[in-house]
Amino acid sequence: MSSMKPKSTIVIFGATGDLAKRKLFPSIYKLYQKQKISEEFAVVGVARRPHTHESFRNYVKETIEEATKQELIDETFISHFYYHPFDVTNTDSYQQLKSLLEQLEEQYNIPGNRIFYLAMAPEFFGTISANLKAEGLTATNGWTRLVIEKPFGHNLQTAQKLNEEIRQAFSEKQIFRIDHYLGKEMVQNIEVIRFANAIFEPLWNNRFIANIQITSSETLGVEDRGRYYDHSGALRDMVQNHMLQMVALLAMEPPIKLTTDDIRSEKVKVLRALRPISHDEVDQYFVRGQYGRGFIRGKEVVGYREENNVDPNSNTETFVAGKLMIDNFRWAGVPFYIRTGKRMTEKSTKIVVQFKDVPMNLYYPTGETIHPNLLVIHIQPDEGITLHLNAKKSGESMKTTPIKLDYCNNCIDGINTPEAYEKLLYDCMRGDATNFTHWDEVASSWSFVDPISEVWENTKAVDFPNYEAGSMGPKAADQLLEKDGFHWWPISSTM
């Protein structure tokens, strides 16, 4: 990795789409504003919609203004954007794209460094990769990298096929598989909290931790993504990738060094150690839900089956809760509970590490319990850490009261946490793949998730819809913990 400002052309396939508009253009702008990338760069948008370079620049400008809520006055920045309209299945057009890139590389003195960002439906990933190689766009004097959006396959088999296709054109080192949760500030902080604090790591195991809970709840429904989501569901959309990545970061052994390979190999070991769930065991370990009508912040919303582009009899889950066991020395016997869903009470991603109770309760010999110690990692929207301890209740003789030590990451003046895509794009430009998923992680995650989706696809959920929009999911998700003697800790910002 070079310490110089990265310099490359970025080709965005799917440049007129939602992801480019909401995440990619604003991220490139932020990197430019912060002077993190070289002033000599070029972005080429590819999609079918007709645009000239000029009309595309206007479009990009509008999208950035909409995202940043600021007027974009820097005309120089926008002049680095170009547009090349074509259907990516049409092989003839790649030669023209190649000529444009060569011309821009000369104009901006870019040494053949190219990022191909596939912000398109996955069905095109293989075709684009093959065409880029066949038409000679990957052979340059510099480096070429391929950024792949999710979903990476629909199950292990399709993911393997896709991987083989893109590996025909790009080596593993050139492939940057995006999991945007890995770009979140507090997800990246998990590793630092664990490995830079002498007080946590000695306790970070089955002798002291009772359970770990990860919740990622959303208030949004499927919005305009019904067509994709109805074939995906929450298990593939959130669990196979984001939730399992957080589990891996929480459970991995300290890497030998903070290199991409060392960290990834520790994460893979966790994913391989996940106790496989057989078809017969799915109901014991996993709960699915689908939202019905309800209220989100006082506003009535429709049920999932009434959403656009969703089958009115859909069997797709919009909520998942699960109990994961990691069969290794460190974690044997410690449940990791995960839950994620749409149209829930609050938008919140939180990790709660619940420590085991003190060995003997000196303060309430009559049976009242002491509040367990909790370490809460607030991923979003609030970013921070809270440690729940017990202290003496003022004025009362030897009674305890729960107290909290709080650190708020995004309350500090001047800290403007970069958006996940901004960080990941920057990492990719620098060639740092640490916060992208290696194929081995993807494969292990699919192996774990596949039996669950197979059972759910083949058995109709008779009780769907089984949770009201605006609630915390179906009752069965609470029972999953209750049968182990635990309960979900609240996700409110006061936790």
Ligand X SMILES: NC(=O)C1=CN([C@@H]2O[C@H](COP(=O)(O)OP(=O)(O)OC[C@H]3O[C@@H](n4cnc5c(N)ncnc54)[C@H](OP(=O)(O)O)[C@@H]3O)[C@@H](O)[C@H]2O)C=CC1
Question: Which helix (DSSP H) or strand (DSSP E) does residue 133 occupy?
Answer: helix 125-134
Site membership for ligand X, residue 87 (CB under 6 A): yes
Rg (the chain; Cα; Å): 24
Q: Which of ligand X, ligand LXAUTJHC, none is residue 237 near (CB under 5 to 8 Å by kind)?
A: ligand LXAUTJHC
| Tokens read off for 209 | 């931790």
Minimum CB separation of residue 123 from ligand LXAUTJHC in Å reads 16
Task: Give how far Cα 140 sits from Cα of 82, 288, 332, Å.
Answer: 20, 48, 49
Q: Contact between 17 and ligand X (CB under 6 A)? A: yes
Q: How far is CA 461 from CA 283, 288, 311, in A?
A: 12, 8, 14
SS (H, E, C) 66-100: HHHCCCCCCHHHHCCEEEEECCCCCCCHHHHHHHH
Closer of 5 and 22 to ligand LXAUTJHC (Cβ) = 22
d(Cα 429, Cα 10) in Å, to the nearest integer? 9
The answer to whether residue 18 forms part of the interface with ligand X (CB under 6 A) is yes
Secondary element (H or E) of residue 351: strand 348-355
Cα(283)–Cα(109) distance, integer angstroms? 59
Cβ nearer to ligand X, comparing 85 with 431: 85
Catalytic-residue membership of 242: yes
Binding residues: 14-21, 48, 87-88, 150, 180, 184, 218, 237, 342, 347
87: partner contacted, choices ligand LXAUTJHC, ligand X, none (Cβ within 5-8 A by kind): ligand X
Q: Is 52 a binder of ligand X (CB under 6 A)?
A: no
Q: Does 220 bind ligand X (CB under 6 A)?
A: no
Does position 230 interact with ligand LXAUTJHC (CB under 6 A)? The reply is no
Nearer to ligand LXAUTJHC, 179 or 191 (CB): 179
CB 110 within 8 A of CB 40: yes
Among 57, 80, 145, 150, binds ligand X (CB under 6 A): 150
Q: Which of 237, 307, 383, 441 binds ligand LXAUTJHC (CB under 6 A)?
A: 237
Given 51, 80, 84, 242, the catalytic residue:
242
Are 342 and 221 spatial neighbours (Cβ–Cβ below 8 Å)?
A: yes
What residues contact residue 256 under an 8 Å CB cut-off, 6+ apart?
Answer: 262
Q: HSE (CB half, 13 Å, CA atoms) of 27? A: 23
By CB under 6 A, name the one of 105, 149, 191, 218 that touches ligand LXAUTJHC: 218
**Which neighbouring-strand residues pair with 407?**
385
Q: Is residue 19 a contact point for ligand X (CB under 6 A)?
A: yes
Of 68 and 265, nearer to ligand X (C-beta) is: 68
Verify binding: residue 47, ligand X, rule CB under 6 A.
yes
∠ CA 260-265-266, rounded to 5°: 105
Nearer to ligand LXAUTJHC, 226 or 322 (CB): 226
The two structure tokens encoding residue 412: 């500090």
**C-alpha to C-alpha distance for 27 and 20, rounded to whole angstroms:** 9
**Closest CB to ligand X among 191 and 317?**
317
- Relative to beta strand 319-325, strand 335-341 is antiparallel
Which string of x and - marks every residue 344-363 that binds ligand LXAUTJHC (by CB under 6 A)?
Answer: -----x--------------
Q: Output the residue with the shortest Cβ distance to ligand X.
A: 17
Binding site for ligand LXAUTJHC (CB under 6 A): 218, 237-238, 349
Residues identified as active-site: 242
